[in-house]
Amino acid sequence: MDIQDWLDVIYPEVNPDLDPRAPFIAHIKTRTPEHNPPLFWLGSALDEISETNEMDTFIKKARNAVGDLNQFSWSNEQACLDVFSQACAFAWASKNLSKPQFMEESQGEYACIFVPEFNTTIVPKRIRHVRHFKDIVDDISNFVTDVQQLFTNEQTKIGYLDTYLNLDWYAQDLGYRLELTEPLVGALKNFTGDQDLRFVLTRPFQWGNPVASWY
């Protein structure tokens, strides 16, 4: 199904709103995935979750993340986008590894995904929009440290980094512009080079064609 259809399933009480300043869910219900890869791949991720019989679990996560739909704020909108990034990490794992499952308990601040066949934990993180590139690099450095400290056993660890969505100007932003993206890939390789940690880096919601991956 297209993302608009899935949003009607997950958040049926939210009315579509053409105003680009409207809450993300309401505005995306008016947008088509045609010529918009982030929305196309997000809808495809939810299709993948449905095929693995984890959709009821995901709907619960998605609604809990937003909270009160009548009191939509910047913070719960960010939480909503984080959950959609988790959906994309799930879809990536399903297509590239084996059948995944959402872990019931969070690991620190991270809602993880486990792939039993490979004893692998996927740790999703959405890179937030910030003013300076250095802040992104610092955030990723902290993320690498968190993953190493949270998972000290013999499980394989894969950090899944999804870049933030700039809905109308995504093609001019991180993940697309080489002068922004190549330094980020270099920083990731530098942070993980001496550690047993694998990574996937994607453009916003585009789990089917990663920018870079080491796993």
- The domain limits of the chain are 3-214
Residue that the structure tokens 């045609």 belong to: 34
What is the three-class DSSP state of 123? strand
Q: What's the rounded Cα separation, in Å, for the pair 175 and 170?
A: 8
Question: CB count, 10 Å around CB of 123?
Answer: 24
Query: What pLDDT is stored for residue 129 in this prediction?
Result: 83
Q: What's the rounded Cα separation, in Å, for the pair 38 and 51?
A: 20
Residue type, 143: F
Alpha helix ranges (H) inside the chain: 3-10, 24-28, 37-51, 55-66, 74-96, 133-150, 178-192
- Encoded tokens for 88: 């994309």
pTM to 2 decimal places? 0.93
- Taking alpha carbons only, the member of 137, 136, 126 closest to residue 203 is 126
Q: What's the rounded Cα separation, in Å, for the pair 25 and 42?
A: 13
Query: What pLDDT is stored for residue 196 in this prediction?
Result: 66
Q: What's the rounded Cα separation, in Å, for the pair 56 and 98?
A: 19
- Taking alpha carbons only, the member of 149, 48, 66, 57 closest to residue 103 is 57
Full pLDDT tens readout for the chain, 215 residues = 999 999 999 999 999 999 988 888 999 999 989 889 999 999 999 999 999 989 999 999 999 988 887 777 888 889 999 999 999 999 999 999 999 999 987 777 899 999 999 999 999 999 988 778 889 889 988 998 888 887 767 778 899 999 988 887 777 787 888 888 888 888 888 877 666 678 999 999 999 999 999 88
